[in-house]
Structure 1
């Protein structure tokens, strides 16, 4: 999923030239899959609760594969948007299922560590396009459409594997039968899930602004597009470490909250520093941003399992992702729009500083879900 999604940022200058698009329009291209996730994550999570993990995941993988392939056939930006929308709908069917799969296979106690492991795969899929798209794939394909064809292949392989290998976990089967009809409404009334959703909103806003525009930021500071993509890829490499190590250390000490609110403050300061730092420090900046933002993201993906009560993990996950990914919807387009207006990314970076402060405050309001806390009581 993420290799198809994040092959766009390294090619911003190529897509603009081939399709005659502005920065804001390219930002919208990045936002479309996240828009689908924001709009449809709650019903997708509820659907997964009802029909089971395997059916929802296989359908989603088929849509991601088809949408990724059709992007390569797009002859104008309207068709490019439509095929990207199909890709996004498939993305939406898969993503809310991931916390449910973790809970079914590993239980609440190990959900954070298991989430850190599978999100390492997410980080790898989102990092490799920065490293190989411009120096290797684009010279062979000679167009962004050819690059889209290449990056549709992993999704096709994932579809086949889901169809053949994936089994419905026994614990998930028990959860998908039968569920109270008012469970989604109960989820929407849960204060803690709203706080978790706001944290995910801030995390996604930071994450998708960095992944969309970090290469352009480095170009503004004097890097070539190839070097800029290499610098931006440090976010992914160190993000893989953060996705594994931050949840692991959190579980060892039995605390979540310091990692959740501390990440926001650190990322806010990093955004402010990015405005004035020289290019040579870009490697350090992107490494630090990647470790913190991806580690905190992995911990937030475990929150539906840790906070939801009863059997509504899919619905809780859908709520957190739906609200959270509004940040991913807004950030790439708005940053591109401000980039077009000012020929600078300073305004978006100042916005990240403010959001980071708000993130830190919200993190202090969330209850502790670590080993030192009592498990949530079931809904009566």
Structure 2
């Protein structure tokens, strides 16, 4: 029986979902505790923004090599390495007692993160037939979102009160969950490798670096798409890290801010599962431009210091947030020069460029917040989203010119 039809593929997908859940738990677990951690360690908001950017900084360097490593080691070993690194990052955070320690703990996640991001679509492509892949990817992509919802909803309302307002004990609970995922993945993946040995390995000796360089050099549409990815991740990472603080600045308690930020992430999960299927192929770039413009409008609403406008802005962000990256990746697959044979290189470029924005976003938001409060950071995000919407319009023109020259 081929792995595409073997019923065990769904068990393996469940284990992958748990790995991605731990990914989301690690990414979001600090967000609702930022102010508490910052005050306890005596850090400025700018320094805290640097901590939030530690893992994207490492991620953007590791994204391209991650695909090659996965092809050589296979999914069982590479995703096991990923879960160990995620767990190490999670375990070291609550014992950090200064900026360097916390920065280093968060940075370790940046090595494991791209192994998950690249490994997840590879697992789906290896184990699932073409007609099942949209469902499998939808299930997989809900993992980090649900992990984020759990962290945002439980940190200040459940775990902090249970542990006498100790952020260290709260983060340690999340770390224990990520450690448990290591065992689950190893057991499930070991059985899967017995069913389909070597199915997920690529013996092609050529790496993806030359292919990535050719895409950048020869195709203007790819160049523009990478800048779009930078702007999109700039916005996403800045908001992921600072949204609970922004909500608190609007007069909400820390626990309510956690619930509201979790609700935004929950809406994003719905968008990730349903949105890409609802956008026609020919309308994807238009949908991207509209989405970025709406992001800009939402941050303008957050800048108006009233509860109704805050709620309205959060709803808009939540509805659009989840479908932004999936739709962008679908557009990436349609770009001139991109094909199934070099999609690994294209995907590596996409996440590398995106995480460059992911590094800059939280840092600049934090620095501006030190100067002018969260309103100043939101003004920055508004400008970035409107500029990214304009770039998306230019992307359409570049693709049209490329088609005309064929």
TM-score band by shorter chain is: 0.7 to 0.9
What CA distance in whole angstroms lies between the structure 2 residues aligned with 1:270 and 1:171?
Answer: 49
C-alpha contact 2:263 2:318 (8 A) present in aligned 1: yes
**Is 2:366 the counterpart of 1:336?**
yes
Structure 2 CA distance for partners of 1:16 and 1:205, relative to 1, 3 Å: same
Aligned residues between the structures: 367
Deviations 1:228-262 (A, max 9, x none): 222222211111111111112126x6642232222
Structure 2 CA distance for partners of 1:44 and 1:156, relative to 1, 3 Å: same
**Is 2:249 the counterpart of 1:226?**
no
Aligned to 1:70, which of 80, 92, 97? 92
What CA distance in whole angstroms lies between the structure 1 residues aligned with 2:113 and 2:200?
Answer: 25
Aligned to 1:157, which of 180, 183, 193? 180
What CA distance in whole angstroms lies between the structure 2 residues aligned with 1:154 and 1:130?
Answer: 15
Aligned to 2:210, which of 148, 160, 185? 185
Stretches of structure 2 lacking an aligned partner (at least 5 in a row):
1-22, 398-402
Structure 2 CA distance for partners of 1:20 and 1:226, relative to 1, 3 Å: same
After the TM superposition, which residues 38-77 of structure 1 pair with which residues of structure 2 at under 5 Å, given as runs? 38-77=60-99
Structure 2 CA distance for partners of 1:94 and 1:23, relative to 1, 3 Å: same
Q: Which residue of 1 aligns with 2:291?
A: 263
Q: C-alpha displacement at 1:300, in angstroms?
A: 3.0
Q: Which residue of 2 aligns with 1:293?
A: 321
Q: Which residue of 2 aligns with 1:10?
A: 32
Aligned to 1:241, which of 261, 270, 273? 270
Q: C-alpha displacement at 1:336, in angstroms?
A: 0.7
Q: C-alpha displacement at 1:322, in angstroms?
A: 1.1
After the TM superposition, which residues 80-91 of structure 1 pair with which residues of structure 2 at under 5 Å, given as runs? 80-91=102-113
Q: Which residue of 2 aligns with 1:283?
A: 311
Q: C-alpha displacement at 1:131, in angstroms?
A: 0.9
Q: C-alpha displacement at 1:6, in angstroms?
A: 0.9
What CA distance in whole angstroms lies between the structure 2 residues aligned with 1:9 and 1:272?
Answer: 21
What CA distance in whole angstroms lies between the structure 2 residues aligned with 1:108 and 1:201?
Answer: 30
Please report the TM-score for the alignment, with normalisation by the length of structure 2: 0.82
Structure 2 CA distance for partners of 1:31 and 1:171, relative to 1, 3 Å: farther
- Higher helix residue share: 2
Aligned to 2:55, which of 33, 38, 58? 33
C-alpha contact 1:99 1:313 (8 A) present in aligned 2: no
C-alpha contact 1:3 1:151 (8 A) present in aligned 2: yes
Deviations 1:161-194 (A, max 9, x none): 221213469698476121434x421223223444
Deviations 1:28-54 (A, max 9, x none): 221111111112111112222333232
Q: Which residue of 2 aligns with 1:94?
A: 116
C-alpha contact 2:70 2:201 (8 A) present in aligned 1: no
Q: C-alpha displacement at 1:341, in angstroms?
A: 1.2
What CA distance in whole angstroms lies between the structure 1 residues aligned with 2:178 and 2:357?
Answer: 25
What CA distance in whole angstroms lies between the structure 1 residues aligned with 2:198 and 2:346?
Answer: 15
Deviations 1:107-140 (A, max 9, x none): 6676555433321221111122111100111122
Structure 2 CA distance for partners of 1:108 and 1:21, relative to 1, 3 Å: farther
Structure 2 CA distance for partners of 1:306 and 1:143, relative to 1, 3 Å: farther
Q: C-alpha displacement at 1:304, in angstroms?
A: 6.0
Please report the TM-score for the alignment, with normalisation by the length of structure 1: 0.87
